[in-house]
Amino acid sequence: MEIVIVPDAAAGGELIASAIAELVTRKPDALVGVATGSTPLPIYTALTAKVAGGLDVSRVRICQLDEYVGLPAGHPESYRSTVIRQVVEPLGLSEASFIGPDGTAEDVAAEAIHYDRALAEAGGVDFQILGIGTDGHIGFNEPCSSLASRTRIKTLTEQTRVDNARFFEDDIEQVPHHVITQGIGTILEARHVVLLATGANKADAVAATVEGPLSALVPASALQLHPHATVVVDEAAAAGLKLADYFRATYAAKPSWQSI
């Protein structure tokens, strides 16, 4: 894993957007996996600025990481609506270039299998953006998810529902209990996985992910198995890292031609 400590969330967003821009320049129809939540917003802001500055993303395809089960189609907090609002529209993409699981499907299990297949048929994810839950989840693979899991239905922990109540008028009753999420095994198939973590409330999860043992109790620790995983953290989220100085020195000494 490469660990990059940046001064703040905006710097993390810029670094990751630059890596996506490089990818898209090399592979114009790249499949980029997007996460929702607060953390990736600086990435989308920086990427939107690059598009305004001339970056051509017209052939880029995007795919969703997860989706709430049971929110009505078009609900503003469904992840489909969120991605359309935060990524598809600002980047000027078409909805046709965007795939995600249908959280309103009657047969959720079949929908999950169908989505895993759709990702494979699309040629696999080139660049997967991830956030991290305070409990160490990636996607919505909550603690004790199988490290080999495929896309499937999961039940959110109480902690995650509390964390996400802010998107539902601070009313936990409105936060769905179930989600369809790419499995950890699915996420690990992406060619490059980039996790952004910002803020002091992520420091424990980041330390466990990066320096703790590989454990289903900390789903993000599965990234230790990935041949090209990058963890970008701001100073606050890096606060629990024992090897922070080593990570800083390693990144500072990186050849300028080599991106994350």
- Residues with catalytic annotation? 66, 135, 137, 142
Residues 97 and 63: their CA atoms lie apart, in Å, by 8
**Dihedral, CA of residue 45, residue 87, residue 229 and residue 163, to nearest 10:** 90
137 lines the binding site for ligand F6R (CB under 6 A): yes
Among 17, 63, 138, 210, binds ligand F6R (CB under 6 A): 138
140 lines the binding site for ligand F6R (CB under 6 A): yes
Q: Which residue has the tokens 């909550």?
A: 142
Min dist. Cβ of residue 195 to ligand F6R (A): 9
Q: Would you say 67 and 90 are in contact if contact means Cβ atoms under 8 Å apart? A: no
Residues 226 and 141: their CA atoms lie apart, in Å, by 16
Residues in contact with ligand F6R, counted by CB under 6 A, come to a total of 14
Min dist. Cβ of residue 65 to ligand F6R (A): 5
Q: Would you say 93 and 60 are in contact if contact means Cβ atoms under 8 Å apart? A: yes
**Dihedral, CA of residue 80, residue 81, residue 86 and residue 89, to nearest 10:** 100
Name the amino acid, one letter, at 72.
P
Among 25, 28, 29, 38, binds ligand F6R (CB under 6 A): 38
139 lines the binding site for ligand F6R (CB under 6 A): yes
Q: How far is CA 192 from the centre of its chain?
A: 11
36 lines the binding site for ligand F6R (CB under 6 A): yes
Question: How many residues are present in the chain?
Answer: 260
Min dist. Cβ of residue 131 to ligand F6R (A): 2
Min dist. Cβ of residue 163 to ligand F6R (A): 6
Of the two residues 55 and 80, which places its CB atom closer to ligand F6R in the complex? 80
Among 20, 30, 39, 216, binds ligand F6R (CB under 6 A): 39
Q: Please report, as ranges, the residues that interact with ligand F6R according to CB under 6 A.
A: 35-39, 65-66, 131-133, 137-140
